[in-house]
Structures are given as C-alpha cells and as structure tokens.
Amino acid sequence: MTIIDDTAAPPAQAANGTNPSRTDGGRWLFVPTGAERVVIDALLANHARQPPAGQRDVGARLTARENEVLALVTEGLSNKEIARRLHLSPSTVKCHVHNLLTKTGLLRRSQLCAWRAAAHASPVS
C-alpha cells in the first residue's frame, strides 16, 4: 500500500495494479485489488480461525478476571460499561480485552463472542 501526498486528481492505476481511494486527509491511498485482496482476506480469515500454536486450549488459560470481562463482552457491553460494572478503569478493561484477543488469536470483539458461544455450546445428542 502506498500513500501519495498529492491532493490533485488521482492517478488512474499504480504500476502494481492497485486502485487509489481518497482518504479523509485528501491523500490518495492505494488499496489492493484482485488477487492481492484475495490473498490478504485469506490470510486474515485463516489467522482468525487458528490461534497461534500452543494457544489452542485457551479457555483453561484465561484468568478469572478475563473470564468475567469475556462474559460481559459477549453481552455486548462497551469497555466503559464493563469498567463500571466491575469497578475498574476503562483502560484496565481495554487491557483485558486486548489480552483476550491475543490469547485466542482473534482480531475482533465479535469473534470473541462467537468463540465463547462455540466453547460453551452443549453438544447435540
């Protein structure tokens, strides 16, 4: 990705096949397209599905506080709301959420919700 500090008209297309998009600052940002985009999406999807080696059984490694925060994240509460409920600072909650994402190898809060739901789902008999 290349940022061109030019507020004039966008170049038609970069030599590497990417197309420009305007950013809020008036700069042109080259966004990957085609095969480049497919590869990036596949890598991100694979990363979200497979936590790093050695962290696959994460549930047993979460602290009691991380489990509390995870439960409240899955209820859809914001960091501020979780902080109020647990009598913590919002930055402490942010740290716990970051640790949860790191330990699980996930990228987003919504993925944490799905991960917890799958981990707590009862097997169908």
Q: Where are the domains of the chain?
A: 3-49, 59-120
Question: Which residue's structure tokens are 């600052």?
Answer: 25
Q: Could you report the per-residue pLDDT of 58-91, keeping only the tens digit for each? A: 666 889 999 999 999 999 999 999 999 999 999 9
70 against 116, higher pLDDT = 70
Q: Which of 118, 68, 122, 125 is nearest to 97 (CA)?
A: 68
Classify domain 59-120 at the CATH class level. Answer: mainly alpha
Which distant-in-sequence residues (6+ apart) come within 8 Å of 108 by Cβ?
48, 101
Q: What is the pLDDT of residue 4?
A: 46
- 43 φ, ψ to 5°? -65, -45
pLDDT band at 100 (very low <50, low <70, confident <90, very high): very high
Could you tell me if 100 and 65 are in contact, meaning their C-beta atoms sit under 8 angstroms apart? no
pLDDT band at 93 (very low <50, low <70, confident <90, very high): very high
Instruction: Check: pTM over 0.75? Answer yes or no.
Output: no
pLDDT band at 54 (very low <50, low <70, confident <90, very high): very low
In the chain, what's the furthest Cα-to-Cα distance?
64
Q: Could you report the per-residue pLDDT of 9-52, keeping only the tens digit for each? A: 555 554 555 555 555 555 555 555 666 667 667 766 666 555 55
